[in-house]
Amino acid sequence: MNKIKGKHYDDFNVEVLSDSIKFYLPRVEGYLEVIRDISSKYRGMSLFEFDGYFEGKFEPMKYIRAEIHTSDKDEQGMINFANNIRLRLKQKSLAIEFNNKLILINEN
């Protein structure tokens, strides 16, 4: 028997994860530990590697985009989490996307 509210059916379950968070991480010393931390906190993650040209540099740097999907995460909490990552990686800035909104976190 199907439930009208839509989360449980006879032969399958549906779960909607409302928040999408993408971390743009430079491949610098310590980034693998950050990836491990993120993956241990969330059930699933996808990784994409790309070349980035940031801060007026002409030579590309390798970056990893770590994307997670979750529910009930607040934006300010994710900004604080990302700032901690920025500090761990000793970066001047770090970018995240929270529900398709790009957020740049910079040092003072």
Q: 22-106: which CATH number, 3.40.1000, 2.60.40, 3.30.1360, 3.30.70?
A: 3.30.70
52-108 residue pLDDT tens: 887 777 788 899 999 999 988 899 999 999 999 999 999 999 999 999 999 999 998
Looking up tokens 């430079």 gives 26
Provide the pLDDT for residue 1: 43
Residues 6 or more apart whose CB falls under 8 angstroms from that of 45 comprise: 35, 38, 39, 66, 67, 68
C-alpha 7/C-alpha 59 separation (Å) is 49
Dist. CA 12–CA 89, nearest whole Å: 41
Domain range summary for the chain, segments of one domain joined by + = 22-106
Residue 2's pLDDT band (cuts 50, 70, 90): very low
CA dist., res. 57 & res. 80, Å (int): 27
